[in-house]
Homo-oligomer: A and B are copies of this chain.
Amino acid sequence: MKRFGQIIGVDPQQFEKYKKYHAAVWPEVLEMITACNIRNYSIYHKDGLLFAYMEYIGENFAADMAKMAADPKTLEWWDVMMPMQKPRDTRADGEWWANMEEVFHLD
């Protein structure tokens, strides 16, 4: 299992809308996340910052992410989410949510 921590900004003006969508994520989007071997996935907010924590239980993360990015309903979901998000200037090439560095872990 591999853990991921990711960060992105959210437009404070649109946070309530973002929250409302995430209180009722479309079932097809949830099913695709699970099908792509993501487990224990949480998103937290404070001060216009979103933090995501997730655990990946598959064998090929790149292939699973490509699968997710090819799913029409997921793309439709992203089309709604992305205008509300403010990606970090420091994100790596090809990232939207920026991967963070794991500094500490205790099981």
Contacts and interface: CB of A to CB of B under 8 A. Distances in A.
A41 interface: yes
A103 B45 contact: yes
A47 to B, nearest CB: 5
Interface residues of A, number: 36
Interface stretch (A49-57, A59-67, A71-79): A49-57
Given A51-B7, A53-B5, A44 B106 contact: no
A33 B51 CA distance: 22
Nearest to A34: B106
**How many subunits of this chain does the assembly comprise?**
2
Contacts of A43: 102-105
List 8 tightest A-B contacts by C-beta distance, closest first. Answer: A5-B44, A44-B100, A43-B104, A22-B104, A53-B53, A46-B100, A51-B51, A41-B106
Interface of A: 3, 5, 7, 18-19, 22, 25, 30, 33-34, 38-47, 49-51, 53, 88, 90, 98-107
